[in-house]
Amino acid sequence: MEAHNYTSLKEQVWNTLLCSGCSLCATVCPMKTIYFSDEMPVSYNLCKNEKDNVPCGACYSSCPRIDTYKDKYGLGPVLNAYTARSTIPIEKQQSGGAVTAILYNALERKLIDRVVTVGQDHTTMQTYSIALSTPQEMITHAGSKYIWYTPSLLALRDLIEAGITRKIAIIGTPCVMQALRKMMESDNAVLNRFKDHVALLIGVFCTEIFSYDRAMQLFKDASVHPADVKRIDIKKDMLLELYNGDTVTIPLPRDLMRRGCAHCLDFTAVDSDISAGSIGSYEGFTTLITRNRTGEYYLNSAIENGYLETSTLETLDKVETFAQRKYKRNKK
């Protein structure tokens, strides 16, 4: 059984600001002694391993910033690459709505029974971890809850504790995918109660994440109320589309990035079953990379049931360029 507990994690990852904020440590802690404050993990010091030597180490065994993250970069394993779009009308889709279509189909066909993803408050734009259970909820929650940090896995903990679900799909950024894959491959027995329930991992391409408070300050400086923002897109600048039809461009300061993101080399979410992004496809389409047979199975089911249109992507050159750019920037 793993000898390390949260104190090793605190020394090696939290105090060094290496933490990606994937939130799996807080999710898997049996004592719920890890929580997030100011976007960083903190412990209530109730760790049973620390206090009573109860075998655990779940947080340490699943942390992606212990060793493994250095080997995660580039395109990763590619079974097939597609450009895709949903055939279902989705008002808030970010790219082609392909992620929503795949999971809409999977929920409808009962291939899965929950999707752990990120929800967003409409007034404050604050984001939170949420579990969805119906195809209609997938449509309601479409679109990237962009840019700021969310401990996105906490809803997984609640599902496992409630014992109400067996097959869970999880959407997440590359660090979240790395954490979940590490958990699935770990031989730490404390993690078994999570492993058995995870059916599908959908990773989104990701360059970096920002801090919510800093982003809100930028909104304030530009006299934008978060409740007026309909859609955010990140290109070179932050592009805000407002409900009144106006668009606002906010230049992105370099130091807006969350500190832990500076160590991440993975743009394409190499540890997912399916990766999804806008880069590499025309406007209105999603680039999809299936990494294994699990990913292909869920994608093909959505195609067969008429929810997803795909064509083969001839080249991943553009995706590779972005992946290399992130690698070079953060390897320094």
* Residues lying near ligand FAD in the complex (CB under 6 A): 93-100, 117-118, 141-146, 150, 152, 171-173, 204-207, 209, 276-279, 286
Distance (Å, whole) CA 19 – CA 195: 22
Distance (Å, whole) CA 317 – CA 75: 10
User: How near is the Cβ of 286 to ligand FAD at its closest, in Å?
Assistant: 4
As a whole number of angstroms, the longest Cα–Cα distance in the chain is: 59
Q: Which is nearer to ligand FAD, 4 or 167 (CB)?
A: 167
For 40, 55, 153, 271, the CA distances from 157, given in Å and listed in that order, are 18, 20, 7, 21
For 17, 46, 139, 147, 206, the CA distances from 258, given in Å and listed in that order, are 9, 28, 29, 10, 13
Residue spans of alpha helices (H) in 109-237 = 135-140, 154-162, 174-185, 192-195, 212-221
User: How near is the Cβ of 273 to ligand FAD at its closest, in Å?
Assistant: 15
Distance (Å, whole) CA 66 – CA 263: 12
Distance (Å, whole) CA 191 – CA 185: 10
Q: Which is nearer to ligand FAD, 105 or 207 (CB)?
A: 207
User: How near is the Cβ of 169 to ligand FAD at its closest, in Å?
Assistant: 10
Whether the CA torsion 56, 266, 197, 293 is positive or negative: it is negative
User: How near is the Cβ of 23 to ligand FAD at its closest, in Å?
Assistant: 11
Distance (Å, whole) CA 145 – CA 117: 10
User: How near is the Cβ of 242 to ligand FAD at its closest, in Å?
Assistant: 19
For 39, 57, 117, 124, 206, the CA distances from 213, given in Å and listed in that order, are 10, 32, 21, 11, 20
Q: Which is nearer to ligand FAD, 29 or 84 (CB)?
A: 84
User: How near is the Cβ of 10 to ligand FAD at its closest, in Å?
Assistant: 25
Whether the CA torsion 170, 172, 176, 181 is positive or negative: it is positive
User: How near is the Cβ of 81 to ligand FAD at its closest, in Å?
Assistant: 13
